[in-house]
Amino acid sequence: MENVRKSFGDNQVLAGIDLQFQRGETTAIVGPNGAGKSTLIKCLLGLVRPDHGRLLIGGLNAQHNAAARRLVGYMPQHAEFPGGMTGRDMIRLVEELRQEDRAPDLSLVRTLGLGADLEQPFRTLSGGTRQKVSAVLASMFAPHVYVLDEPTAGLDPVAGAALKDHMAAERERGATTLLTSHVMADLEELADRVVFLLDGRIRFDGTMNELRELTGRERLERAIATLLEGDAA
């Protein structure tokens, strides 16, 4: 993405963001609430239109472009589905919407232990189960790019671990992943690279190791705290 800016009213949320992600790279977007993380993600997904700049996914413009969205698998922070429908209905819907020639990869269904839950209407399912369905939907056509907003929130530890394993496998396959999470352990486990956002600007962009060197902190949350303090000073 190139010089992406976005304001809501007088409030500038993204003040010129330049980022490039490599194949097979997992990037954690971190920063305090209101730093612009969600807006950045939503720009990439085409949900929010930037005032300025451009975003390319696999060389395709991310705005107004169904082809670009075909490359993306997205797991929102809170997956909400129509209460009357089932996970199976959703899988069928996404199949029809994606119109891929290949059969969907539903291995996550077993890995996450969904099974019979797929036939239950969403209004009877827990938040964690819905999150599992969301993960299945995001991965069923092996996207080039994953956008995961708090992917493990609400998942039980076993499912969380299974999902992380799956993501690691996807990285091996060459998938690019963007990740936000408040669970620092997840980030440390999954991320190659950390982008730290504050007030709509990139304050840090580097590997985990670079971050550790810069701040002298071993643990990510400590390192981020140090960055924040440095900013305040």
Partner 1 sequence: MMTTLVRFHIKNALRSRWLVAHFVLYLLITEGLLLASGASDKTLLSLINVVLLLVPLVGLVFGTIHQYNGREFTELLLTQPVRRSVLFGSLMAGVALPLVASFALGVFLPFAWHGGVTWYQGVRIGTLIGLGSVLTTTSVAAAFMVSTGQADRVRGIGTALGLWLIYAVLFDGAVLLMVTTLGQWPIEKALLGVMLLNPVDLSRLILLQVFDAAAMMGYTGAVFTRFFTSATGYLVAGAALVTWMVLPILAARHRFLRQDF
CB of 22 to partner 1, least distance (A): 22
Q: Measure the CA–CA gap between 135 and 133, rounded to whole angstroms.
A: 5
Residue 7: other Cβ atoms inside 10 A: 15
Closer residue to partner 1 (CB): 104 or 196:
104
Tell me which residues in 145-174 interact with partner 1 (CB under 8 A).
147
Say whether residue 99 binds partner 1 (CB under 8 A): yes
Residues binding partner 1: what is the number (CB under 8 A)? 33
Q: Is residue 47 a contact residue for partner 1 (CB under 8 A)?
A: yes
189 binds partner 1 (CB under 8 A): no
Report the Cα 164 to chain-centroid distance in Å.
13
Q: Which of 3, 20, 49, 219 binds partner 1 (CB under 8 A)?
A: 49
Site membership for partner 1, residue 98 (CB under 8 A) = yes
Q: Is 69 in the site for partner 1 (CB under 8 A)?
A: yes
Between residues 23 and 92, which has the closer beta carbon with respect to partner 1? 92
Between 52 and 219, name the residue whose CB sits nearer to partner 1: 52
Interface residues with partner 1 (CB under 8 A)? 8, 42, 45-49, 66-67, 69-70, 72, 74, 76, 78-85, 89, 93-94, 96-99, 121, 134, 137, 147
